[in-house]
Amino acid sequence: MERKHGFFSALKEEVVRALSPARSGSKSPARSGSPMLGLLRRKKHRQVAYPDPVIGRLGRLRPAGGETLAPLMEGPNPDGGGSGDSKRGGLGLGHWMKGQLSRAPSTSSNAYKRSNLRMLLGVMGAPLAPVHVSTNDPLPQLSIKDTPIETSSAQYILQQYTAASGGQKLQNSIRNAYAMGKVKMLTSEFETAASVMKNRNVVRDTESGGFVIWKMNPDMWYVELDVGGSKVHAGCNGKLVWRHTPWLGAHTAKGPVRPLRRALQGLDPRTTASMFANARCIGEKKINGQDCFILKLCADPQTLKARSDGPTEIIRHVLFGYFCQKTCLLVHMEDSHLTRIQSSGGDAVYWETTINSFLDDYRPVEGIMIAHSGHSVVTLFKFGETTMSHTKTRMEEAWTIEEVAFNVPGLSVDCFIPPADLRSGSIREACEIPQDEMGKSAIVLASHRAKVAALEKEHDRNIDNMFWKMEA
């Protein structure tokens, strides 16, 4: 009983001393190390339960001197220091460790974010269609005599598609067009020969932005994409295709002039019909519950050869179009592109890029049916002689169209002039293949799709791999 009375007396004195106004500014060790105050602080902290992503972000705060701030812990000090006398089960420490394991260090995370954004913009920003088409070329007339059934079926499907999109007469009256939209991009999965790592921070790692597309006959177009603070410009003046990125500058694409693939995603039915003019109907398939005809288009050997250069060879480029049997509109498009790169003194490396685009929300704009939303899933597959070197990256994109206009007054050919340094020939087409695969020589990629297949140099690629391992 005497011991109990002594305990409460000591407790009362401790509370009075702690709450005394005269000692409110005291920094004495007795006050700072009080068990009662430690209990009150822990009770106060327990009222706020941060979710794991917030705890992970708190660990990134840095003072002006650059030294990393230690996270606030409720549990015992993992280093065995005397700052925490609590005998609790370490719930706060467990949350903190979980938050630390769910992210990479800030320096590596920033480098990963930059390299990831480069890959997203390089692969999905401004890819080109497989072959050259011209809006001045008339669509082929339906012919049955001496024509394979696959070809005549494709011509019939395209006629129905043209009629459902607004009619050939109305489409031929369009001199220029403009479209503006929003886009979100994300690298969702990375796979090696040993493991598969999925991105568990979708909200944090999603890159948002917008894009603008201008088009004018004949065969001129311009696109500007601004995502995550980086801008990608690409255009065509009817004679050459060029692209500008913050990390490469301005450069041209080899081979013939080709349309912008993004315009084929439900924004330009006239060019889409011309693109599949020489396609074949290879069968039917259900897409999202809709019966569709499949049209297949392959780039011809002459085009592939013109796009190849030196050790870079474009092996194939195939485009599949899925046209709904009910609405006759294009609802799905699959693009497959294979490139072979022979490094100096080493084995050949293959890059296969596959883009699956789904088109939704068709609505008429001045009589032309336009897809106002959609999403794409991109698979970037690298393989070579050894199985352990295989990697596969999955990227996703979702977009919406905010505004579309046709026959915009004042739009002229001056809006599609290439950059001055590009016209003078001072900048050649650059490459973005990792250093260990290009040796000591500068390999010039033959097409936009091949040159953006592997974006990072060896340093950034190592950081990328390190980030994925920590995520796993």
Cβ–Cβ < 8 Å for 148, 154:
no
Closest CA to 228 of 357, 119, 128, 127: 119
Q: What is the DSSP secondary structure assignment for residue 128, as one 8-state letter?
A: B
Overall average pLDDT of the 392-404 stretch:
96
Structure tokens at 428: 């050649």
Cβ–Cβ < 8 Å for 244, 266:
no
202-211, 280-289, 334-343: which is most confident: 280-289
Please write the tens of the pLDDT for every residue from 24-82. 444 444 444 444 444 434 444 444 444 443 333 333 334 444 444 444 333 334 444 44
Please write the tens of the pLDDT for every residue from 236-252. 999 999 999 988 889 89
Percent of the chain predicted with pLDDT > 70:
65
Q: Partners of 318 in the beta sheet?
A: 298, 336
Question: 85 falls in which pLDDT band (50, 70, 90)?
Answer: very low
Judge whether residue 332 has pLDDT over 80.
Answer: yes
Mean pLDDT of the chain, nearest integer: 75
For residue 115, what pLDDT is reported?
A: 80
Structure tokens at 192: 């090696």
Only one residue has tokens 């912008």, namely 260
Distance of alpha carbon 450 from alpha carbon 316, whole angstroms: 11
239 membership: H or E segment, kind and range:
none
Is pLDDT larger for residue 82 or for residue 365?
Answer: 365
One-letter-per-residue 3-state SS of 161-172: HHHHCCCHHHHH
Please write the tens of the pLDDT for every residue from 156-189. 999 999 999 999 999 999 999 999 999 999 999 9
Judge whether residue 267 has pLDDT over 50.
Answer: yes
Closest CA to 337 of 451, 233, 442, 228: 451
Is pLDDT larger for residue 439 or for residue 99?
Answer: 99
What b/e readout covers 409-444, taking b as 16+ CB neighbours within 10 angstroms? eebeeeebebbeebeeeebebbbbbbeebbeeeebb
Phi, psi at 119, each rounded to 5°: -65, -45
199-202 long-range contacts (CB < 8 A, ≥24 apart) are: 199/471, 200/102, 200/471, 201/53, 201/102, 201/103, 201/471
For residue 94, what pLDDT is reported?
A: 46
Please write the tens of the pLDDT for every residue from 130-141. 999 987 777 777
> What does pTM read for this prediction?
0.69
Asked if the bond preceding 71 is cis, omega within 30° of 0, the reply is no
200-209, 414-423, 434-443: which is most confident: 200-209
**In 110-255, beta strands by DSSP E:** 176-192, 196-198, 207-216, 220-227, 230-237, 241-245, 249-252
Q: Please state which of the ranges 193-197, 296-300, 375-379 shows the lowest mean pLDDT.
A: 193-197
For residue 35, what pLDDT is reported?
A: 42
For residue 347, what pLDDT is reported?
A: 82
Judge whether residue 219 has pLDDT over 90.
Answer: yes
For residue 367, what pLDDT is reported?
A: 97
Torsion angle of C-alpha atoms 250, 255, 256, 260, degrees rounded to 10: -50
Is pLDDT larger for residue 468 or for residue 378?
Answer: 378
Judge whether residue 427 has pLDDT over 60.
Answer: no
